[in-house]
Amino acid sequence: MVDELEHKYDVEIKEREGRYKLSDEVKAEMKSSGMMDEKGKLKLKGVSPKMLKRMKQEFVECPVIKEDVHFIQCFICPNFQSRVMGKVLCKGDKL
């Protein structure tokens, strides 16, 4: 049930053609936290390769930093609560 998780925003997940590049800053953060290996291959626990491929083509309009961000960047954000039916539940706290 969507109402059970405390969140401030329901952010729609959008799709774009082709791949969307992660910024070097985000990549460095993911490598340091073990979510990406040294070659730049993503290693997200509990995410299937098929889902990962889909996630690479998605983005959200982040209500916190007020710009479009890669879904993977959103997924690793401390504000990320859950992904439910094409939406992200976001806590909306300042970063």
Give pLDDT tens digits for 1-35: 445 678 899 999 999 887 778 889 888 988 998 99
DSSP per residue, 24-89? HHHHHHHHHTTSB-TTS-B--TT--HHHHHHHTTEEEEETTTTEEEEHHHHHTSTTEEEEETTEEE
Structure confidence at residue 77 as a pLDDT band (50, 70, 90) = very high
pLDDT in tens, 34-65: 999 988 888 888 889 898 888 889 999 999 99
pTM of the model: 0.83
Tell me the pLDDT band of 70, cut-offs 50, 70 and 90.
very high
Nearest by Cα to 73 from 5, 17, 22, 13: 22
